Chains A and B, each alone.
Chain A
Amino acid sequence: MYDSHLNERKRDFDWALLLGAGGLMFLGGAFIYSATAGHQSALAWYKQMYVHQILWYLIGLGAAAALLAVDYSRLARWSGVAYGLTILLLVAVFVFGSRIHGGKRWITLGIFGLQPSEFAKIAFILLLANFLSRPADELRRPRIFWATLGLTLLPFVLILKEPDLGSALVFPAISLSMMFVAGVPARMLAGLVGGVSLLVVLLVAIILFAPARLDIEPYQKTRLLTYFGRNKSYNVEQALISVGSGGLKGKGWRHGTQYALGFLPRAGAHNDFIFSVIAEEEGFAGSVVVLALYTVLLFSGIKIASQARDHLGQLLAAGVVTLLFCHVFINVGMNIRLMPVTGIPLPLLSYGGSSVVCSLIAIGILHNIHIYRRSY
């Protein structure tokens, strides 16, 4: 069909990638049902959350399928526009945003809320991939380095101000990973990592020893203190109890008591704390299955990155993989007190339209790169 050898579109699927995504969507539907059915059973079926979630899966799959029709290099050309739009949306959050759980993160659009930070992550990956896919000698220039840093800091600061520390921290991580893959000199990256580490150490020191002097939101302070074991946070304690009480085999699907009895917050169990519901009901075995599915997803992403046709594809895949990994690591880590509590969703499992659609778009991009991979 295509005469260009380089642009040849492979008519195959990356089955591993699809298996990982499909399995996670199946678990997401099942455990959102388990977590919410108890107190929503009185509602009509179309008002129940798991039905909404399935709807979001379908919308996300549609969006991902639509993306497959266009070569990712063409998508990348629009990355500047996408980035600009999401920055505008992030600014708009401050103006029109709804305040939920102490943060202005949503723009309410009629029946559903839009979380611009999720879309900003995708747009950011596209833009950065486009920006960094240039010859190695250009990447050595400090100007490029500082520009990348600037592009990272803009959404980072906006999202930090929402405030949503968890999502904001994803940006520097993606940036770092993509710069590394792009071939920005290790010297510069080491300097960056060193500088950031120093800042983080200072911040932690202030939090631990002089929390009063710190100018961060009270809820963030509490969450950070909780992470460092200085504060008994109810949610973390309960999430930990949920995960821990699951044991090896768990209590069985829909037999978890933590959520049913109202210990896990009603507002959070089906999104940020969905992992603790799975871990309680399916035990260590279930947790490992979830992590295995993510591993499949992430390593097919890495395979796709290494098989990518060009630098752009590789960078895009690396960005997406880093994004997904950050979400998984922070969210699961938070459930077992490895990470501080930051409202960050678990890709494809947590309830939420923006998160589900963006995760599926990200996977769509990965698959796009897979289809247009080099064939030699």
Chain B
Amino acid sequence: MRVIAILMGTGLFVLVAGLWFVQIVCASRFENNSRRQSLKRVGMPAIRGKILDRNGRVLADNRPHYNAMLYLEELQGQFGDAYTRLSKAYGRQHPLAVQANGRVRLTAETSRELQLEADCQVVSNVAFQVGQSLQEHGMLNTNAFLRHYTNYPYVPFEIVPDLAPRQVARFAEQLSGQPALEMEMQPVRFYPNGSLAAHVLGFVQRESFDVEQIPDYEGKTGLERVYDARLHGRAGAKLVLVNSLNYRQREDIETPNEPGGDVFLTIDLALQRAAEQALAGAQSNVRGAVVVMDVRNGDILVMASAPAFDPNSYVAGLTQREVAALNDPKYTPQINRAIGGAYPPGSSFKIITAIACLETGLDPNEVYDSPGEYRASPTARPIHDTAGAGKFDFNRAFFRSSNTYFIHNGMKAGLRKILEVAKRFHLGEKTSFPIGPEVAGNVPGPEQAGVSLLRSSTPDVCIGQEITTTPLQMAAVIGAIANGGNIFWPRLASHAYSPETGEEEQLFAPGRLRDHVEIHPRDLELIRHAMLDDTEHPADSTSLGGTAYQWFHHAGGAPLLANFRVAGKTGTAELKSSAPNSPRRITWFDSYAPYENPRYAVVVMVEDGSFGGPTCAPVAEKIYEAIIKREQSNSPPATVLARN
């Protein structure tokens, strides 16, 4: 019995010693292991909200996107087999490493290398098999896989992204039986109208893969960026239980994701499309911008900039050629020319000069005998005048766009006065437009007259040179002329729907007044009439017609737009820039309509056009055609929103 007692005592002592070794001596190692195999959070992106036009037509949508995913933890068995095979092969190549008993002796490093190589081999074989089944001939990107595998082995690896519909069917048919392979549906941003309103919408791109997250999309520019938080929704989180080998053990949904909210714009999809088409037709490889604004409340109905880009290509990932095209220094498709480009307004600035002259005592009936060009001094470089020599009263000087008349009278009003009027209309100031980048342009304040802007520049400033504005700023000026002096904060996004409550939430109040410009009603009337004559005054025995007349009338004199009178001003500015990619000439047609009851301001700007009339007026005319069509169709023309 004593022997048994001694044996048992020894056995129990061995157990205590073993426990002491494991629980006290090695405790920290096992504690680390225990902590390492714990919970990791993995994000689950939410479905992004849509962007819709003012009538609820979709501008930015989501489409299902199927990825073939590889669940690495399911391959552990195969990894092991491949490792055994490789280590045997290693033994054959390195006979010295083979021990007498047939075992292959490996250093820890070699063993690790072989392990990784084995894992890569297995995944590569699976990828090949998947490729065969899906008839996809891309090879496994080993670097991407290794990066994924070393960092996030518990997150499934995307083995083939974005399956075509036929591949989806093939996957379901041939590969669905494999536990390691699964098809995963992800919503992907989709712009159904391609490049339409691309600058306004902006684009989304995959967030960089630095977090332990399933790739999510983030708005990078435009409204996608401004309203990213709202559109993005709330990403949910999965808790993935990770074991000591770092593979996925189990997962639970911690917080479900919440879809993003929809954002409604003031943009009218049909008008936007018509405007973009009209602008594209202005000339080949056109560079320019169109802004259509509701003059009653500042709603932006159209904001187009050419050339544009297809935001879908950003989502898919840009090719090198696309990147090169996007960075072209001359065409700069990424710049929104309606707000991001500063251009000399040219003769369209004569609206400002006219107000300055009239307010400093110009008699509109006084006839000025123009010599047909302006010289500051007999030896100075002459400023040419397309209106030519002749007798001009205010109205005729305006619709014929006589440079000499406006320089002559503008000099009398003075640079300070002209700049003061320009500032009243907030030219050269940003409009706090939600999307960017917006530039202010360069219109110095009146205090800068003779300081930063030399008085010798006055003749140029009178006809809209040496200063720069944006098409959106010009739209605000035209709007104020049309509505009697109200300048609104331009509105682009109207409201949103909260996905949680389903309630409508206003993003920007309609008709937020920025300023009211005091203009004498007589002056306003004179300018409006002169602008109308720009499109309506035909040539007669004494004079040529309005600079835009022929673009709004048939050859026989019948108006192109029935019962829809347009008031406008052409502009053509010369640029003396020596930069190789800078445009030489900026052409404009700034207008509003209908004359009697103004609702729309249409500003068209084209770089390197011929003249404001022939290049830009036809674009505006086509836009008005679309506007008429829109008003005739049952959709009421924004009256609902015109509460103010």
Query: At the interface, yes or no: B27 with Cβ under 8 Å from chain A?
Result: yes
Q: Which residue of A lies closest to B37 (CB)?
A: A263
Instruction: Please give the distance in Å from B623's CB to the nearest CB on chain A.
Output: 65
Most chain A Cβ neighbours within 10 Å, of B4, B26, B35, B39: B4
Query: At the interface, yes or no: B30 with Cβ under 8 Å from chain A?
Result: yes
Q: Which residue of A lies closest to B102 (CB)?
A: A209
Q: Are A245 and B12 in contact (CB under 8 A)?
A: no
Instruction: Please give the distance in Å from A243's CB to the nearest CB on chain B.
Output: 5
Q: Which of A242, A263, A288 interacts with B19 by CB under 8 Å?
A: A288
Q: Are A247 and B1 in contact (CB under 8 A)?
A: no
Q: Of residues 237 to 293 in A, which have CB atoms within 8 Å of B's CB atoms?
A: 237-238, 240-248, 257-258, 261-263, 279, 283-284, 287-288, 291
Q: Which of B15, B24, B26 interacts with A248 by CB under 8 Å?
A: B24
CA distance A336 to B244 in the complex (A): 17
Q: Which residue of B lies closest to A318 (CB)?
A: B4
Residues of B within 8 A of A298 (CB): 8, 12
Most chain A Cβ neighbours within 10 Å, of B8, B11, B35, B37: B8
Q: Known: A325-B8, A329-B11. Contact between A261 and B38, CB under 8 A?
A: yes
Q: Which of B4, B19, B35, B39 interacts with A243 by CB under 8 Å?
A: B19
Query: At the interface, yes or no: A302 with Cβ under 8 Å from chain B?
Result: yes
Q: Which residue of A lies closest to B19 (CB)?
A: A287
Q: Are B30 and A284 in contact (CB under 8 A)?
A: no
Query: At the interface, yes or no: B94 with Cβ under 8 Å from chain A?
Result: no
Query: At the interface, yes or no: A180 with Cβ under 8 Å from chain B?
Result: yes
Residues of B within 8 A of A98 (CB): none
Residues of B within 8 A of A279 (CB): 19, 23
Query: At the interface, yes or no: A59 with Cβ under 8 Å from chain B?
Result: no
Q: Known: A244-B23, A248-B23. Contact between A291 and B16, CB under 8 A?
A: yes
Query: At the interface, yes or no: A294 with Cβ under 8 Å from chain B?
Result: yes
Q: Are A284 and B23 in contact (CB under 8 A)?
A: yes
Q: Are B1 and A244 in contact (CB under 8 A)?
A: no
Q: Are B15 and A338 in contact (CB under 8 A)?
A: yes
Query: At the interface, yes or no: A32 with Cβ under 8 Å from chain B?
Result: no
Instruction: Please give the distance in Å from A252's CB to the nearest CB on chain B.
Output: 14
Q: Are B101 and A306 in contact (CB under 8 A)?
A: no
CA distance A263 to B250 in the complex (A): 10
Q: Are B22 and A336 in contact (CB under 8 A)?
A: yes
Q: Are A246 and B12 in contact (CB under 8 A)?
A: no
Q: Are B33 and A257 in contact (CB under 8 A)?
A: no
Q: Are B11 and A262 in contact (CB under 8 A)?
A: no
Q: Of residues 11 to 64 in B, which have CB atoms within 8 Å of A's CB atoms?
A: 11-12, 14-16, 18-24, 26-27, 29-31, 33-35, 37-39
Instruction: Please give the distance in Å from B84's CB to the nearest CB on chain A.
Output: 11
Q: Are B5 and A302 in contact (CB under 8 A)?
A: yes
Residues of A within 8 A of B5 (CB): 299, 302
Q: Known: A240-B22, A247-B23. Contact between A181 and B15, CB under 8 A?
A: no
Q: Are B29 and A325 in contact (CB under 8 A)?
A: no
Query: At the interface, yes or no: A333 with Cβ under 8 Å from chain B?
Result: yes
Interface residues of B: mostly helix, strand, loop or mixed?
A: helix
Q: Are A302 and B249 in contact (CB under 8 A)?
A: no
CA distance A336 to B25 in the complex (A): 13
Q: Are B34 and A325 in contact (CB under 8 A)?
A: no
Query: At the interface, yes or no: B108 with Cβ under 8 Å from chain A?
Result: no
Q: Known: A244-B23, A247-B24, A284-B23. Contact between A338 and B16, CB under 8 A?
A: no
Q: Are B34 and A257 in contact (CB under 8 A)?
A: yes
Q: Of residues 201 to 237 in A, which have CB atoms within 8 Å of B's CB atoms?
A: 209, 237
Q: Which residue of B lies closest to A248 (CB)?
A: B24
Q: Are B38 and A257 in contact (CB under 8 A)?
A: yes
Q: Are A245 and B30 in contact (CB under 8 A)?
A: yes
Q: Of residues 89 to 112 in B, which have CB atoms within 8 Å of A's CB atoms?
A: 101-102
Q: Known: A181-B4, A262-B241, A294-B12. Contact between A244 and B33, CB under 8 A?
A: yes
Instruction: Please give the distance in Å from A349's CB to the nearest CB on chain B.
Output: 14
Instruction: Please give the distance in Å from B331's CB to the nearest CB on chain A.
Output: 58
Query: At the interface, yes or no: A314 with Cβ under 8 Å from chain B?
Result: yes
Residues of A within 8 A of B21 (CB): 336
Instruction: Please give the distance in Å from B104's CB to the nearest CB on chain A.
Output: 13
Residues of B within 8 A of A291 (CB): 12, 15-16, 19
Q: Are A244 and B22 in contact (CB under 8 A)?
A: yes
Instruction: Please give the distance in Å from A366's CB to the nearest CB on chain B.
Output: 14
Query: At the interface, yes or no: A177 with Cβ under 8 Å from chain B?
Result: yes
Q: Are B16 and A288 in contact (CB under 8 A)?
A: yes
Q: Are B19 and A245 in contact (CB under 8 A)?
A: no
Instruction: Please give the distance in Å from A336's CB to the nearest CB on chain B.
Output: 5
Query: At the interface, yes or no: B243 with Cβ under 8 Å from chain A?
Result: yes
Residues of A within 8 A of B19 (CB): 243, 279, 284, 287-288, 291, 332, 336
CA distance A209 to B15 in the complex (A): 28
Q: Known: A262-B249, A302-B1. Contact between A245 and B16, CB under 8 A?
A: no
Q: Which of A180, A325, A336 interacts with B11 by CB under 8 Å?
A: A325
Residues of B within 8 A of A180 (CB): 3-4
Residues of A within 8 A of B101 (CB): 209
Most chain A Cβ neighbours within 10 Å, of B15, B21, B31, B35: B15
Q: Are A258 and B4 in contact (CB under 8 A)?
A: no
Q: Known: A283-B23, A325-B11, A338-B15. Contact between A245 and B31, CB under 8 A?
A: yes
Residues of B within 8 A of A257 (CB): 34, 38
Residues of B within 8 A of A322 (CB): 4
Query: At the interface, yes or no: A82 with Cβ under 8 Å from chain B?
Result: no
Residues of A within 8 A of B38 (CB): 257, 261
CA distance A174 to B129 in the complex (A): 56
CA distance A243 to B250 in the complex (A): 22
Query: At the interface, yes or no: A295 with Cβ under 8 Å from chain B?
Result: yes
Instruction: Please give the distance in Å from B258's CB to the nearest CB on chain A.
Output: 27
Query: At the interface, yes or no: A344 with Cβ under 8 Å from chain B?
Result: no
Contact flags B229-254 to A (C-beta < 8 A → 1, else 0)? 00000000000010110000110000
Q: Of residues 26 to 62 in A, which have CB atoms within 8 Å of B's CB atoms?
A: none
Query: At the interface, yes or no: A305 with Cβ under 8 Å from chain B?
Result: yes
Residues of A within 8 A of B102 (CB): 209
Q: Which residue of A lies closest to B30 (CB)?
A: A244
Q: Are A333 and B18 in contact (CB under 8 A)?
A: yes
Residues of B within 8 A of A237 (CB): 244
Residues of A within 8 A of B37 (CB): 241, 261, 263
Residues of B within 8 A of A263 (CB): 37, 243, 249
Instruction: Please give the distance in Å from B238's CB to the nearest CB on chain A.
Output: 15
Residues of B within 8 A of A328 (CB): 12, 15
CA distance A192 to B190 in the complex (A): 80
Q: Which of A181, A262, A287, A314 interacts with B23 by CB under 8 Å?
A: A287
Q: Are B12 and A295 in contact (CB under 8 A)?
A: yes
Q: Are B4 and A245 in contact (CB under 8 A)?
A: no
Q: Are B249 and A244 in contact (CB under 8 A)?
A: no
Other A-B contacts than A291-B12, A302-B5, 12 sampled, CB-CB below 8 A, are: A238-B244, A245-B27, A247-B31, A248-B24, A283-B23, A284-B20, A287-B16, A291-B19, A306-B1, A329-B15, A332-B18, A333-B15
A residues contacting B by CB (< 8 A) are 177, 180-181, 209, 237-238, 240-248, 257-258, 261-263, 279, 283-284, 287-288, 291, 294-295, 298-299, 302, 305-306, 314, 318, 321-322, 325, 328-329, 332-333, 336, 338
The 7 closest A-B pairs by CB, nearest first: A244-B30, A245-B34, A284-B23, A247-B27, A245-B30, A245-B31, A336-B18
Q: Show 12 A/B contacts (Cβ-Cβ < 8 Å), sorted by A.
A: A180-B3, A244-B34, A248-B23, A261-B39, A262-B249, A291-B19, A294-B12, A314-B1, A325-B11, A333-B15, A336-B19, A336-B21
